[in-house]
Chains A and B, each alone.
Chain A
Amino acid sequence: MIQRADDAAIERLEIQVGRLLQAGVLLATACLGGGLILWCIAGATHAVNLVLTTGLIVLMVTPLARVVASLVAYVRLRDWFFVATTVMVFAVLVAAWLVKS
């Protein structure tokens, strides 16, 4: 049976997840915006490329961090049905980095 965790806990989770997403986007935007300005000044140097790539990786990892945060919360709430779905999403996201095509 699916047990519903209480609304207050879910609301707290939502707010925490929101903060996490915001932090990820801010960090990524800082790298990407700063990197672009450097790119305009210095051209496509190795260092500039590194800053831009860091920004893109932060961007790609932010949703993954969101899934991990939700997973921790669902485990704490003992909401096993959603622990299972979150683990599956997590597994697919990790596979996205590991599978070779």
Chain B
Amino acid sequence: MTLLAIVAVVAAGSIAGALGSLLGIGGGVFLVPFLNAGLGVDFKVAAATGLMTVIATSSVVSAGRAGRHLINLRLGMLLEVATTIGGLIAAVTVAYLSNHALNLIFAIVTAVIAVLMLTRLDRRNVLEPTISPGAFGGRFHDDDTGRDVVYQVKRLPLGMSASFLAGYVSGTLGIGGGILKVPVLNAWCGVPMRAAAATSALMIGVTAAASAPQYFARGQVNPPVAAAAVVGVLIGSRAGFHFSSRARVKWLKLLMAVVVGAVSILYFRKAFA
């Protein structure tokens, strides 16, 4: 790794972190293809880097939300059983997947994410920018689902299955997987959007922590690259929070759905080249 490449990774991490916190999808879906297709980093090394940024993001977002009753610790703990098992199975089995298979899985998952983004343009979902705890306090009251909402969780097996799948995808591709389980928890399991997003943000850290050690043990974590990505993402999510009130999130989401769609096409081409 050259100095220039490390600077590029910090920059890419910042952009991914800012977009992730603005759009609520986590930065991994931008960072992993940048490292892999852009800088030529091996897919599994790129995925391991993504996992490190997922853990950092999860810890920061959850720390900022603590004590607000948004994180449903009980539901989260139960769903974490499913996501961590999914994450660990993925991290073990990914060693046997070829780059062709990984390209294809990444292409399919990014296609699904692009479609989910397009269908949910008006919803604020998954990771909200919450670096400074003081600043997001007032925003709960702006939302139609305030903190005094009482809800019951329905269709728990469905939530468990979605969590398992999100864990598997996270451990295989190095992305957070929140965008895959939050819509299920919200639409079918009766969890209000903000609680689903906050609980998911807590869960993705543990999920990534169930995958990352396997990559680490196989020597697929590149310390300077991972460090640069984590530092970049932490800087970027701060910046994303700063701009979130001014940015026209809906148009940005539309644009980024197109970008994610393009990434998907790129990986379909890589898979079949």
Residue of A nearest to B3 (CB): A40
**Is there an interface contact between B80 and A85, defined as CB atoms closer than 8 Å?**
yes
User: Which residues of chain A have a CB within 8 Å of any CB of chain B?
Assistant: 7, 10-11, 13-15, 17-19, 21-22, 24-25, 28-29, 32-33, 35-36, 39-40, 44, 49, 52-53, 55-57, 59-64, 66-67, 70, 82, 85-86, 88-89, 92-93, 95-97, 99-101
| Size class of the B contact interface (CB-based, 8 Å) | 35 or more
- Give Cα distance in the complex from A83 to B6, angstroms: 43
Q: Which 10 A-B pairs have the closest CB atoms?
A: A18-B66, A52-B223, A63-B209, A22-B63, A32-B227, A92-B84, A21-B59, A21-B63, A101-B92, A15-B67
- Give Cα distance in the complex from A2 to B80, angstroms: 18
The answer to whether residues A99 and B88 also contact, given A22-B59, A28-B56, A93-B209 and a CB cut-off of 8 A, is: yes
**Is there an interface contact between A14 and B56, defined as CB atoms closer than 8 Å?**
no
**Is there an interface contact between A56 and B63, defined as CB atoms closer than 8 Å?**
no
Residue of B nearest to A23 (CB): B63
**Is there an interface contact between A19 and B209, defined as CB atoms closer than 8 Å?**
no
The 8 A CB mask of B207-230 against A (1 = contact, 0 = none) is: 011111110111001011011101
User: Which residues of chain B have a CB within 8 Å of any CB of chain A?
Assistant: 3, 6, 10, 52, 55-56, 58-60, 62-69, 71, 73-74, 77-78, 80-81, 84-85, 87-88, 91-93, 95, 205-206, 208-214, 216-218, 221, 223-224, 226-228, 230-231, 234
The answer to whether residues A101 and B218 also contact, given A59-B55, A67-B206, A93-B209 and a CB cut-off of 8 A, is: yes
Partner of B81 from A15, A18, A92 at Cβ < 8 Å: A92
**Is there an interface contact between B230 and A64, defined as CB atoms closer than 8 Å?**
no
The answer to whether residues A36 and B228 also contact, given A15-B67, A89-B80, A99-B214 and a CB cut-off of 8 A, is: yes
Residue of B nearest to A97 (CB): B213
**Is there an interface contact between B223 and A18, defined as CB atoms closer than 8 Å?**
no
A1 to chain B, nearest CB (A): 14
Q: Which of B87, B95, B210, B228 has the most CB of A within 10 A?
A: B210
Partner of A49 from B52, B205, B223 at Cβ < 8 Å: B223
B216 to chain A, nearest CB (A): 7
Residue of B nearest to A62 (CB): B59
The answer to whether residues A96 and B88 also contact, given A88-B81, A101-B214 and a CB cut-off of 8 A, is: yes
